Amino acid sequence: MKTSDFYFDLPEDLIAQHPAKVRGQDKLMHLDPKTGSVEHFMMENLPDLITPDTLMVFNNSRVRRARVYGIKETTGRETEFMFLNSIDKECCIWNTMVKSAKKQKPGMNYKFPDGTVGQIIDIPGNAGTEFRAMKFDFAIDEDWFERNGHIPLPPYIKREDTEADSERYQNVYAKETGSAACPTAGLHFTDEMLKRLDEKGIDRCFVTLHVGLGTFLPVREEEIENHKMHEEYYTVPVETAEKINKAKKEDRPILAVGTTSVRTLESVGQRIIACGKKPGDNGEWVIPGTSSTSIFMYPGYKFNVVDQMFTNFHTPESTLIMLVSAFAGKENIMNAYKQAVENRYRFFSYGDCMLIK
């Protein structure tokens, strides 16, 4: 299957540059994956579209201020670094994605806004990629990012981050800091919406997947099967595993909020398969624990845990549109996206949303 099979024409003015004026006041498309039929709603209608027996699974990862600008000591030039994850136990070495990576050589020193200095070092696998390792003489913690960093708005938002983004580019239930990008399907949910779901008896639970940028890197391979995903780290708490396994046993639907929740649940399902079992053996569809995943879902993938999906509208030729195409059918997704363009839905992180069920 070719990457170009997932291209669609998207007018630039439909790429949301700002969130809705009021959180949660967004358009909502309902796509039936069995028939391909599409209906148009508003986010406020969501509780009416979900049955009370549904278990919703949210990703509670919180975005860190991961975009940091460093000054090269030898030239005084500013360079943007996106800090992805710590790669040693002491948190002194971080994996970063950097602009003009070819020019960033091991041994180069960069000074950050609070005066701290980091040095680019060589690690296996980074040569020829967008990634560089940055070493410090002390542990980098969240206070350091608060002092030095910016909200990591995605590159298709053509503006600098503002103080408003500090609140609007976080989910209201975000708790575990560690993402370099927001799990943006959750941006549509307000405390009031969660209360309405509670009142209808719709249960929910949480996983944590810290979003790296591997999900958002372009697919450069002509044949999508040759594309390799980068690893992301996730945790499935014991309580969440128990709730999901109970719901699956009772034949109740699992509604994953966001592609990151989908990636987490399906990755755990694949772990069970890797042990020579089938999801559902011994009443286990998911197991608790912490691990990493580089799962890549595209048409032909068989979903083992997730029954329904709530998601945003994704970029052409991306791994995310391939994922939703695997879930709902490529023809259905392309038709739905065509209608979204015709009805002037807003796309990507700060845009509108879709319920697939």
160, part of any domain:
no
Question: What is the token pair recorded at 351?
Answer: 């845009």
155 lies in some domain: no
Find the domain containing 135 and state its range. Answer: 67-150
What's the confidence (pLDDT) of residue 215? Answer: 62
Same domain, 131 and 222: no
User: 217 in a domain, yes or no?
Assistant: yes
Last residue of one domain, picked from the residues 150, 176, 198: 150
276 shares a domain with 184: yes
Can you read off the two tokens belonging to residue 342? 């015709």
Tens digit of pLDDT for each residue in 76-109? 999 999 999 899 988 899 999 998 888 899 999 9
Domain end (from 150, 174, 200) = 150
Backbone φ and ψ of 129, nearest 5°:
-115, 180
Nearest to 313 by CA among 288, 293, 292, 343: 343
Instruction: Give dist(CA 89, CA 86) in Å, integer.
Output: 8
Same domain, 130 and 263: no
At 271, is the secondary structure helix, strand, or coil? helix
Cβ burial of 172 (10 Å; 0-12, 13-18, 19+) is middle
What is the spatial distance between Cα 165 and Cα 253, in angstroms, rounded to a whole number? 33
Q: Looking at the structure, do residues 277 and 222 belong to the same domain, yes or no?
A: yes
The pLDDT assigned to 125 comes to 79
Q: What is the total residue count of the chain?
A: 357
Both 336 and 218 in one domain: the answer is yes
Q: Is residue 75 part of a domain?
A: yes
pLDDT of residue 146: 96
Q: Is residue 312 part of a domain?
A: yes
| Closest among 47, 45, 43 to 19, alpha carbons compared | 43
Which pLDDT score, from 0 to 100, does residue 176 have? 97
**Total number of domains constituting the chain:** 2
Verify that 41 and 185 share a domain, yes or no.
yes
Residues 198 and 283 occupy one common structural domain: yes
Q: What is the pLDDT of residue 58?
A: 98
The pLDDT of residue 216 is: 63
Do 8 and 146 fall within a single domain? no
Q: Which residues of the chain have pLDDT under 50?
A: none
Give the CATH number of the domain where residue 146 resides.
Answer: 2.40.10.240
> Nearest CA to 49 among 279, 253, 259, 239?
253
Which of residues 116, 150, 184 is at a domain's end? 150
Instruction: Please indicate, yes or no, if residue 72 is contained in any of the structural domains.
Output: yes
What CATH number does the domain containing 287 carry?
3.40.1780.10
pLDDT in tens, 192-218: 999 999 999 999 999 999 998 766 678
Q: Closest by alpha carbon to 192, among 49, 19, 22? A: 22
The 3-state DSSP class for residue 254 equals strand
